Amino acid sequence: MSYKQTKVWNVDNNDIEKGEPLLLQEPTMWIRDNKLIAFPTETVYGLGANALSDEAVSKIFYAKGRPSDNPLIVHIGDKTQLNELVADIPEVADRLMEAFWPGALTLIFKAKPVLSTHVTAGLETVGIRMPSNPVARAFLKACQLPIAAPSANQSGRPSPTTAAHVLQDLNGRIDGVIDGGQTGIGLESTVLSIVEDTPVLYRPGGVTKEEIEGVVGPIGVDKALVSTNEQPKSPGMKYTHYAPEADVYIVEEPKHFHSAIQRAKASGLRVGVLASESYKEAHESIVVHSLYDLAQTFYYTLRLFDEKAVTVIFVEAVPTLGVGAAIMNRLEKAAGGKRL
């Protein structure tokens, strides 16, 4: 499947706030016609398809090169759509939706048999979220369909936080992309299963474990998040992800940075560094100053390193509290477990 050109629609939050939904009329019509449309959310750009259509959803896997046994998250524009998609809405779900929807929290429900089997990958459950990004909300409401949407990148690559990133990976492979500017959070949504007696965290993300427990009390953590011997159950976590072209290494001790940089430079490698301000002297480095900045710019910076032909990247480990858990989760995937 190949397209001569991927169409781009420029729509920003100001357009939506001014009440100009006509700007989304064409991409809305296209997705109803089972085409692939990338769109911005508050986390990363998603690659959308009609979640009720096998034909449409199968195109996602082809365009991304994504394994077909990897389930997809469904995006909705209104909570009333849940009744059509899930078998049960437990009381804990109501509390979580009240606190975090619209927002960066995906909830795993027991699914009704209405979605494409490509969405659920044969499972009896489905992950659903309602984004807070105004462009995404307007688009999803106009579609009047549940939209399956993994990140809009080639499988394994860093997730896209701009429309330009989408086009780097998928230009000519998808029908269109709604350019809504750079995303805000910059990391994928948190995935929480509510089909167990106690909610279980499957993937850390923009909503932290601590924030969730502030609403529903203690939650469980999927064993795959703490053990490499366990098979992940969350969409987007089963295979290696988020990797740039360069080799990535996690640096546990700051004292190891200098020697690692010097060895890499002596070998003729082009070095990239994501670390605290004290490493500004690192050759060809890009320095991120705070935990928040790293969360927001992690994927953006990995892609920037690719553009600068960096061949090895050293990243300082961060504490796994709050959003740090999501950062380290993605970093482990990008590095393939390589540490110094």
pLDDT value, residue 147: 98
For the segment 296-317, what is each residue's pLDDT rounded down to a tens digit?
A: 888 999 999 999 899 999 998 9
17 phi, psi to nearest 5 deg: -65, -30
For the segment 136-157, what is each residue's pLDDT rounded down to a tens digit?
A: 999 999 999 999 999 999 988 9
For the segment 93-142, what is each residue's pLDDT rounded down to a tens digit?
A: 999 999 999 999 999 999 999 999 999 988 999 999 999 999 999 999 99
d(CA 255, CA 171): 42
pTM recorded for the entire structure? 0.92
Q: Do 24 and 161 fall within a single domain?
A: yes
Place 229 in a pLDDT band, splitting at 50, 70 and 90.
low
Residue 204 maps to a domain = yes
Q: Do 86 and 209 fall within a single domain?
A: yes
Q: Do 178 and 316 fall within a single domain?
A: no
Q: Do 136 and 259 fall within a single domain?
A: no
Q: What percent of the chain has pLDDT over 90?
A: 65
Least confident of 158-172, 189-203, 238-252: 238-252
Instruction: Please give the structure tokens belonging to residue 238.
Output: 């089963």
d(CA 324, CA 317): 9
Question: Among residues 121, 89, 126, which one has the least CA distance to residue 108?
Answer: 126
pLDDT value, residue 240: 56
Q: 319: helix, coil or strand?
A: coil
Question: Among residues 241, 196, 238, 239, which one has the least CA distance to residue 219?
Answer: 196
Question: Quick one: 256 exposed, middle or buried, by C-beta within 10 A (0-12, 13-18, 19+)?
Answer: middle
The parent domain of residue 32 ranges over 7-225
Q: Do 139 and 263 fall within a single domain?
A: no
Q: How many domains does the chain have?
A: 2
pLDDT value, residue 283: 57
- The sign of the torsion formed by the CA atoms of 186, 29, 118, 99 equals positive
Average pLDDT of the chain, as a whole number: 89
Q: Is the per-residue pLDDT at 241 higher than 70? A: no
Q: Is the per-residue pLDDT at 239 higher than 60? A: no
- The sign of the torsion formed by the CA atoms of 136, 137, 138, 142 equals positive
Residue 199 maps to a domain = yes
CATH number at residue 328: 3.40.50.11030
Residue 72 maps to a domain = yes
pLDDT value, residue 228: 55
Q: Do 22 and 153 fall within a single domain?
A: yes
Q: Do 52 and 184 fall within a single domain?
A: yes
Residue 42 maps to a domain = yes
User: How many CA atoms does the CB half-sphere of 13 hold within 13 Å?
Assistant: 10
Nearest-10 crossing angle of helices 163-170, 291-307:
40
pLDDT value, residue 227: 57
Q: Do 296 and 208 fall within a single domain?
A: no
Residue 242 maps to a domain = no
Please enumerate in sequence order all residues whose Cβ is within 8 A of that of 227, keeping only pairs 6 or more positions apart, or say none. none
Q: Do 198 and 313 fall within a single domain?
A: no
pLDDT value, residue 3: 57
Q: In what order do the strands lie in the sheet with 46-50?
A: 7-10, 176-179, 37-39, 46-50, 147-148, 73-75, 125-129, 105-110, 190-193, 200-203, 220-221
Q: Do 286 and 155 fall within a single domain?
A: no
* Cα separation values, 32 from 76, 165, 256, Å: 14, 24, 53
| More confident of the two residues 17 and 36 | 36
Q: Do 15 and 155 fall within a single domain?
A: yes
Residue 240 maps to a domain = no
Q: Do 286 and 140 fall within a single domain?
A: no
Residue 316 maps to a domain = yes
- The domain boundary residue, chosen from 194, 225, 256: 225
For the segment 48-101, what is each residue's pLDDT rounded down to a tens digit?
A: 999 999 999 999 999 999 877 789 999 999 999 999 999 999 999 999 999 999
CATH number at residue 46: 3.90.870.10
- The domain boundary residue, chosen from 195, 225, 255: 225
